Chain A
Amino acid sequence: GAGVSQSPSNKVTEKGKDVELRCDPISGHTALYWYRQSLGQGLEFLIYFQGNSAPDKSGLPSDRFSAERTGGSVSTLTIQRTQQEDSAVYLCASSHRVGPQETQYFGPGTRLLVL
């Protein structure tokens, strides 16, 4: 079946511009996560959606970052007034839970470069 998809795969933008990154989770997965991976850094949690609950935004690095999830499916991560330090690979993951167990499946990521 189809996995997690993300678009665009690459994005080059100028400092100060806004960008939108899209994630299509696996059908039926109720949880959706955004992470980012900077050069030489580990994967860093950004934001998490679970069903109809309010999102967990505790990982967002600044108020320039926001995300929404429409209809419990597609999610968009928006970065306003991009800065060079925002350059990273932005990864989306979705998951299903079976009791206490959960498996997160990652999309291919969006590579963002801010000039």
Chain B
Amino acid sequence: QKEVEQNSGPLSVPEGAIASLNCTYSDRGSQSFFWYRQYSGKSPELIMFIYSNGDKEDGRFTAQLNKASQYVSLLIRDSQPSDSATYLCAVPLDRGSTLGRLYFGRGTQLTVWP
């Protein structure tokens, strides 16, 4: 059974700070990792995905993957109140796959205060 662990939070940061969200996974065969954002009462939306070790940047968001240590993180620079949401980490259920059904962590609740 795949496991994805996230600190449920809540994580609270001031506006303009860097928010760091972490996710660890148990299956060394996992090949791809997804970060979704879910506003309260809304459906998840994809923010970023990462396949390779290292960093991947997209605007204010950076995903970091360390396969040796089996963790993936999401950094949000210059955090804004509109970033306040629950952030979900997900991996494909099928070992070694980058596709298909996803296993989601329980999410980290982020609050950015003005």
Could you list which residues of chain A lie within 8 angstroms of chain B, going by C-beta atoms? Answer: 31, 33, 35, 41-45, 48, 50, 56, 59, 91, 97, 100-109
Contact = CB atoms under 8 A, between A and B. Distances in A.
A102 B104 contact: no
Contacts of A48: 100-101
A103 B46 contact: yes
Nearest to B34: A104
B49 interface: yes
Contacts of A33: 101-102
A19 B42 CA distance: 22
A41 B106 CA distance: 6
B49 A101 contact: yes
Q: Point out which of B42, B44, B49, B107 has the most chain A C-beta atoms below 10 A from its C-beta.
A: B44
B-side interface mostly: loop
A43 B100 contact: no
Contacts of A56: 100-101
> Considering the complex of A and B, which 5 residue pairs feature the smallest CB-CB distances, nearest first?
A43-B104, A106-B43, A42-B106, A45-B101, A42-B104
A104 B102 contact: yes
A67 to B, nearest CB: 13
B103 interface: yes
B98 interface: yes
A56 B93 CA distance: 12
Contact of A91 (B43, B93, B107): B43
B21 to A, nearest CB: 15
